[in-house]
Amino acid sequence: MDELDILKKDWQSSQKVFQQKSSKDFYIMLHKKSSSIVKTLLYISIAELVFWICLNTIPLFSSDSYKEQLNMVYKNDFVFYAITVISYAIILLFVYLLYQTYKTISATDNVKKLMENILKTRKIIKYYVIYNLAVGFIAMVVGSYYGIVNNPEIATDFNNFNQAQVIITFCLIAVFTLLFVGLIWLFYRIIYGILLRRLNKNYKELAKLEV
């Protein structure tokens, strides 16, 4: 074997080692970035949960008029507390699932496994957003209905409405409901959307490593 063949063989060997090290370093970087993104999503979800708890509980214990209005709408404290507990329990479930995903990603040392966990995270966030949008829509519709039916003053006025006024009232309720749900969607689109796009970018880069 002449010197040229030896140099060529050494160069190819060095090139292969370099590519292996480069791929490993790239994976470590993507792993770290993905873990950081999921951790941020987890913190945002916890912060959101705390925000809604404070928003619902502080007025309840600090304002008698707010509590009277709730009693007027729901007629029964049990109904209100049951709805609240179920809602928070489901949100806590999503937070727990995100936490489990974060732990799994942090301990992952396999490209395929990391990709699977990124997909799992995206699904959790997708269902979390859909759930909150659905709850926001239902809460507005049910709250408006019970507000009209159970509030004596509003119920009396509503019963005296002609057909045109009834249609206008329902149209206004529909508009405010859509605006409310739209604002929630916009919040998730901005906050979660940015992080999910970064996570999706990491997924695509990992897919290239698997080729």
126-174 tens-digit pLDDT: 898 898 888 888 878 877 777 777 666 776 777 777 878 878 888 888 8
Instruction: Classify 211 as helix, strand or coil.
Output: coil
Structural domain contains residue 52: yes
**What per-residue confidence (pLDDT) applies to 7?**
40
Structural domain contains residue 20: no
Structural domain contains residue 21: no
Range of 196's domain?
A: 31-210
Structural domain contains residue 99: yes
Structural domain contains residue 39: yes
pLDDT in tens, the chain (211 residues): 554 454 445 444 544 443 444 667 778 888 888 899 999 999 998 888 888 778 777 666 666 665 666 666 556 556 667 777 788 888 889 999 999 999 988 887 788 888 888 899 999 998 988 988 888 888 788 777 777 776 667 767 777 778 788 788 888 888 988 998 899 899 888 888 899 999 998 888 888 776 5
Structural domain contains residue 19: no
Look at the alpha carbons of 64, 65, 69, 70 in this order and tell me if their dihedral is positive or negative.
negative
| Reported pTM | 0.74
Structural domain contains residue 2: no
- What's the gap between Cα 92 and its chain centre? 12
d(CA 187, CA 129): 10
**What per-residue confidence (pLDDT) applies to 11?**
40
Total structural domains within the chain: 1
Structural domain contains residue 5: no
* Contact in structure between 34 and 118 (CB atoms under 8 Å): yes
**What per-residue confidence (pLDDT) applies to 99?**
92
**What per-residue confidence (pLDDT) applies to 65?**
64
